[in-house]
Amino acid sequence: MLKGKHILLGVTGGIAAYKSCYLVRELKKAGADVKVIMTDAATRFVAPLTFSTLSEHEVAVDLWSENQSTRSEIGTRHIDLAAWADVLLVAPASANTIAKMTFGLADNLLTVIALACRAPLILAPTMDADMFLNETTRRNLDLLNERGVFVIPPAEGEHASRLHGPGRLPEIDVIVRYVEGVLEKSYQDFRSASILVTAGPTHEPIDPVRFLGNRSSGKMGFAVARAAAMRGASVTLISGPVHLETPRHVKRINVETADEMQKAVMEQVGSADVVIMAAAVADFKPEKPHRGKIKKIPGEVPDVKLISNVDILMALGEKKNGKLLVGFALETENELEHAREKLKTKNLDLIVLNSLQDEGAGFGSETNVVTFLDPDGNTERLPKQSKFDVANSLLDRIRLKLKK
Ligand code: CTP
């Protein structure tokens, strides 16, 4: 997998920088071509000469290198390096560099390249346990991960400071395997696929100001759309009302109600090979939304009659036309049983079960705990992961089913 691959390795300031020398050696042994960029702080821990000897390339440190003789060389070096990379791996990634990347600062060669690079970015956060557990660092990593940056969970153990906890650089072979996994995905394994994703809640109007809704944040569906686009799929995302950025290279269609979502799905589904219904479509809607705002009358409550919404997924399952259909199920009790029932009645190829019972799962959370179920009776429960990682695991399973 690594043979002939271009790995741009960013090394930031931290005592673990010395371990990255072994990382270069292992990546090279596996056949990769490695170029190293160091931050100023990293050079305080390890000399650039060590990395240039191991990588057999000049080490880039300075954005304004004096070795660059012409203006144009200085002007485009970061773009050339960014374009060269099949993957940008930052290991160790310090809290400072992570914070800069979160806010798009570009004040050294590494952070400039991180902005310019189209290849996947992998971070191996490495720092003292308290710095790693600090809310700011956690939030920064969540934001980056939400935007499609891969984050390798750090190892736990004793730090140079003698503190115990998470924040240590993972073992070298763990990092190498992670890079292989990302390269496999960025291999554009969905290049010829067209994927339709729905996300978010629907809002069913009661009157012009009030609606019936649910707590879906849309994060899971957006993560699926982002991951699929990164893996080369042509992605259409039909989204209910949410406050999320549209992932790069994704065509987004905004809707409010279940009826609007159904109309958009039916318009877009023709060209799709895969439909992933991550939206929490409201099952009921007020029969007749009031034209004007319902006024409060003392001693009275309005009588809002509810009727059923269309079940979009059920309708798709009745006429599959060779499409692969994936549903989500959010359950609070008898989870597996209910999910299996939905898989069958909606004629799905895969269902992703979330249980509200699980800590770190469900609405608004950055992480998810899911179980995949398929019609062959396979049941696979994944450990707690970020929604972006769950999205990639889901796509891995879908790829296998498409191959069949
Ligand atoms: N779904 C849909 N249209 C609806 C309701 C749900 O397409 N009107 C889809 C969801 O997007 C999801 C799957 O069906 O992929 C399961 O949704 P869920 O709400 O868990 O199941 P329901 O069938 O609505 O059953 P219940 O609410 O009773 O659990």
Residue 66 pLDDT: 56
Distance, CA 400 to ligand 1 centroid (Å)?
25
Give yes or no for residue 313 CB within 6 A of ligand 1. Answer: yes
pLDDT at site 77: 73
Whether residues 321 and 399 fall in one domain: yes
pLDDT bin (cut points 50, 70, 90) of residue 62 is confident
Q: Which residue has the higher pLDDT, 330 or 366?
A: 330
Could you tell me which of 393, 399, 394, 387 has the C-alpha nearest to residue 143? 387
Q: Is the pLDDT of residue 68 over 80?
A: no
| Residue-range definition of the domain harbouring residue 254 | 194-403
Residue 54 lies in a domain: yes
Q: Which atom of ligand 1 is nearest to the CA of 328?
A: 15
Q: Is 277 close to ligand 1, i.e. is its CB under 6 Å away? A: yes
CA 294 – ligand 1 centroid, Å:
29
Q: Are residues 174 and 248 in the same domain?
A: no
Q: In percent, how much of the chain has pLDDT > 70?
A: 96
Q: Confirm or reject: Cβ of 95 under 6 Å from ligand 1.
A: no
Q: What is the pLDDT of residues 183-241, one digit of tens each?
A: 987 667 898 899 999 999 999 999 999 999 999 999 999 999 999 998 999 999 999 99
Confidence of residue 404 (pLDDT cuts 50, 70, 90): confident
Ligand 1 near 140 CB (within 6 A): no
> Quick one: pLDDT at residue 359?
74
CATH number of the domain where residue 143 is located: 3.40.50.1950
- Please check whether residue 44 is in contact with residue 15, taking contact to mean a CB–CB distance below 8 angstroms: no
User: What is the best residue among 277, 356, 394 to mutate for testing ligand 1's pocket, by most ligand atoms within 8 Å of CB?
Assistant: 277
Are 156 and 253 within one domain?
A: no
Q: Exposed (0-12), middle (13-18) or buried (19+): which is 338, by Cβ within 10 Å? A: middle
> How is residue 270 annotated by DSSP?
G
Dig out the tokens for 99 from the structure.
């914070």
Query: Which of 134, 214, 254, 347 is an active site residue?
Result: 214
What's the order of all strands across the beta sheet hosting 194-199?
Answer: 250-254, 234-239, 194-199, 274-277, 324-331, 350-355, 370-373, 379-381
Distance 344 CA to ligand 1 centre (A): 13
Is residue 233 within 8 A of residue 380, CB to CB? The reply is: no
Average pLDDT value for the chain: 93
For residue 151, pLDDT beyond 80: yes
Query: What is residue 67's predicted lDDT score, i.e. its pLDDT?
Result: 56
- 96 has catalytic annotation: no
46 and 179 in a single domain? The answer is yes
Give the pLDDT of residue 367. Answer: 81
Task: Give the total number of structural domains in the chain.
Answer: 2
- Asked if residue 169 and residue 230 are part of one domain, the reply reads no
From 268, 269, 281, mutation site for ligand 1 pocket: most ligand atoms within 8 A of C-beta:
281
**Within a domain: 189:** no
Q: Are residues 180 and 208 in the same domain?
A: no
Whole-number pLDDT of residue 65: 63
- Reply yes or no on whether the pLDDT at 72 is more than 60: no
| 340: Cβ contacts below 8 Å, ≥ 6 apart | 351, 373
Residues 224 and 359 in one domain: yes
Give the pLDDT of residue 184.
81
Residues 46 and 68 in one domain: yes
173 & 200 share domain: no
The tokens for 100 are: 């800069």
Ligand 1 center to 317 CA (angstroms): 12
Question: Has residue 333 been placed in a domain?
Answer: yes
- The letter for the amino acid at 55 is S
Q: Do 394 and 388 meet the contact criterion of CB atoms below 8 Å apart?
A: no
When mean pLDDT is compared across 165-179, 257-271, 360-374, 377-391, the lowest value belongs to 360-374
What is the atom index within ligand 1 of the atom nearest the CA of 308? 8
- Could you say which of 164, 184, 204 is where a domain stops? 184
Q: Do 57 and 153 belong together in one domain?
A: yes
- Helix (H) / strand (E) element for 330: namely strand 324-331
Q: What is the pLDDT of residues 91-105, one digit of tens each?
A: 999 999 999 999 999
Q: Please work out whether the CB of residue 309 comes within 6 Å of at least one atom of ligand 1.
A: yes
Q: What is the CATH number of the domain that holds 281?
A: 3.40.50.10300
Residue 332: the pLDDT is: 87
- Buried-state track 133-146, b at ≥16 Cβ within 10 A, e below 16: eeeebeebbbebbb
Taking CA atoms only, the protein residue closest to ligand 1 atom 9 is 313
* Domain final residue pick, 140, 156, 184: 184
326 pocket-lining for ligand 1 (C-beta < 6 Å): no
- Same-domain pairing of 253 and 394: yes
Residue 106 included in any domain = yes
Task: Write the pLDDT tens digit of every residue in 262-300.
Answer: 999 999 999 999 999 999 999 999 999 999 999 999 999
CA of 244 to the centre of ligand 1 (A): 22
1 part of a folded domain: no
Q: What are phi and psi of 36, to 5 degrees?
A: -115, 135
The answer to whether position 177 is within a domain reads yes
Region 28-48 average pLDDT:
97
Q: Can you give the pLDDT at residue 366?
A: 76
Ligand 1 atom showing the smallest separation from residue 310 Cα: 8
Nearest CA to ligand 1 atom 8: 311
Residues 35 and 142 in one domain: yes
Answer yes or no: is 115 within a domain. Answer: yes
CA 396 → CA 2, 76, 231, 364, distances in Å? 19, 36, 10, 24
CB distance 202 to 258 below 8 Å:
yes
What's the pLDDT at 215?
92
Q: How far is the CA of 310 from the centre of ligand 1 (A)?
A: 10
pLDDT of 191 reads 87
User: From ligand 1's centre to the CA of 139, what distance in Å?
Assistant: 31
Give the C-alpha separation, 137 to 155, whole Å: 16
Please indicate, yes or no, if residue 155 is contained in any of the structural domains.
yes
For the Cβ of 279 lying below 6 angstroms from any atom of ligand 1, the answer is yes
